[in-house]
Structure 1
Amino acid sequence: MASESSIIETPIVDTLSQAEQWLSNNSELLIQYGVNIFSALAILFIGNMIVKAVAGSVAKVLQKKNMDKAVVEFIHALVRYTLFVIVLIAALGRIGVQTASVVAVIGAAGLAIGLALQGSLSNFAAGVLIVAFRPFKSGDYVEIGGVAGAVESIQIFQTILTTPDNKMVVVPNGAVIGSPITNYSRHDTRRIDHVIGVSYSADLQKTKEVITKILESDERILKEPGIQVGVLALADSSVNFVVRPWVKTSDYWNVYFDSLQAIKEGLDKEGIEIPFPQMDVHMNKVD
């Protein structure tokens, strides 16, 4: 039994001896690699903190210049990601990876990814165009590709809208640039368009005067460029008036609803009928 135990212990002792000798011969190399790995981790940690600080400082400077919030967020994200890639390359270079090779690999990978993700790259390019030409800014109420809402932010690949019923809508930047953009908040004033139908038996001149008087009594309706009231069409069951007052953009919906109610109540008070669609049926008796 003693001989078998010594036979088993001999390979273990030899292995430990070889490992100890290898560690002794390569101790400097291991220390160097350890220092390099620690340095790379330190570069990543400290570099990430610096990147956040620089990107935050850029955002604060832009905010002090009263730049639009959506543009500030876009530039902040762009600066942060760009600087982080630089820090990552520096960390890889510290552990012995050739940075030139890394850049070449990143370029080749970027080309391959770019071909695979053409839509994402087009969204990024569209985001740059949105920031450059600024068809809208943060807080504007816009309609893009059939979706209407207030602009919350412009990100690298998409634009975030908030609908009036508080839903978040994510619109790819490519779709924003590729579709018509209606900005309801761009100008300080807006025109309200009403179509009011009255009976064919109504006095048209009186109807026009009543509607004009009702609108002129509302202080929120602007005196310039004036109120337009006129006959628009002789419809099947009514004479349709077009009513076009101008208001401040911030007052648009309140005046829209209030003016409709006021016109209905004013016409009723003056005995001017607002007809509903109707059909006359004539019956002939045949013997």
Structure 2
Amino acid sequence: MLANTLEWVNNNQGLIIEYVLNIVSAIAIILIGMLFARLIYKGLHSMLSKRDLDSTIVDFVSYMVKYVVVAFVLIATLSRIGVQTTSFVALIGAAGLAIGLALQGSLSNFASGVLIIVLRPFKAGEYIEAAEVAGSVESVQIFATTLVTFDNKFVVVPNSAILGGNIINYSRKPTRRIDLVIGVSYNANLQQTKAVFEKVLKNNAGVLDTPSTQVAVAELGDSSVNFVVRSWAKSADYWDVRFQLIEEIKDALDAEGIEIPFPQMDVHMDK
């Protein structure tokens, strides 16, 4: 048995050496290739970051390039050890088709992620409302976008759900308009009431001078005269200014003796 083995080794030394060299070469290719993919990722990530691009774009593009390099390295490794890459690529294509049919939703999310990166309807740090969720964008990943809500909830939203509906970006513009509807009693003097609103707007430091503010009678309601009070604030200060104005308007109306009506019900009892 041993003699037969030694004889076979002697007769096939060239083949064995070639096979060993191919194995060593394949190991070298995969080690060097993985190192190269890692260096490509770090280099590309660093280069894109220096261009002040949005972090979502930097991460998405860097990872995609890295995975493409890894795929080529694996194919080159298999080719070195004698695997027919042509049939292998065809097999991957067939498997990819089957997986694609099974994972249509995931592929839709991937395609939507690419479109989000290209079209850039929002970027990391901006406050948006999409797919019935409102929050600050934390990151755009391959299949989903992560948001953090006002009350610090971490929400993962599929990219296709975001791109399939309306996207409201509250942070993209530097300023936002604050719309308040305030109802006062029919007994109130309209000019005096209007002057109270204008004074509150003028004295609030968060209200911008441009665009100008607007105070007007919006409608004559069932139990109140409704004023529309419009002002502008920086997008980052929107909620703080809005809450301040509501409180300041209530205090100012009370100080002037102007009543804010509330729903009442009169009950008449027949004897």
TM-score class, shorter-chain normalisation, is: over 0.9
* Counterpart secondary structure, 1:192: strand
Partner Cα separation in structure 2 for residue 234 and residue 217 of structure 1: 28
Shift of 1:208: 1.3
Shift of 1:24: 4.0
Does 1:243 pair with 2:220? no
Summarize deviations over 1:196-216 as a string: whole Å, max 9, x none: 122222222211110110111
- The list of structure 1 runs, each at least 4 consecutive aligned residues, that deviate by more than 4 angstroms after superposition, is none
Aligned position for 1:203: 189
Does 1:63 pair with 2:43? no
Partner Cα separation in structure 1 for residue 217 and residue 10 of structure 2: 102
Alpha-carbon RMSD across the aligned residues, in angstroms, is 1.7
Summarize deviations over 1:126-149 as a string: whole Å, max 9, x none: 112111111111111100111011
Partner Cα separation in structure 2 for residue 260 and residue 19 of structure 1: 94
* Counterpart secondary structure, 1:245: strand
Aligned position for 1:49: 35
Partner Cα separation in structure 1 for residue 266 and residue 224 of structure 2: 14
Aligned position for 2:205: 219
Aligned position for 2:134: 148
Aligned AA (2:83)? V
Summarize deviations over 1:98-135 as a string: whole Å, max 9, x none: 22222211112111211111111111211121111111
Q: Unaligned regions of 5+ residues in structure 2, if any?
A: none
Aligned AA (2:267)? V
Partner Cα separation in structure 1 for residue 217 and residue 188 of structure 2: 12
Partner Cα separation in structure 1 for residue 46 and residue 228 of structure 2: 49
Aligned position for 2:92: 106
Over alpha carbons, which structure has the higher Rg? Answer: 1
Aligned position for 1:4: none
Structural mapping, 1:66-215, within 5 Å: 66-215=52-201
Partner Cα separation in structure 2 for residue 90 and residue 51 of structure 1: 14
* Counterpart secondary structure, 2:44: helix
Summarize deviations over 1:217-247 as a string: whole Å, max 9, x none: 1122111221112222333332222211101
Tell me the percent identity: 57
Summarize deviations over 1:159-188 as a string: whole Å, max 9, x none: 121212222211111111101000001101
Partner Cα separation in structure 1 for residue 28 and residue 145 of structure 2: 35
Does 1:259 pair with 2:222? no
Partner Cα separation in structure 2 for residue 233 and residue 73 of structure 1: 52
8 Å Cα contact 1:198-1:238 kept in structure 2:
yes
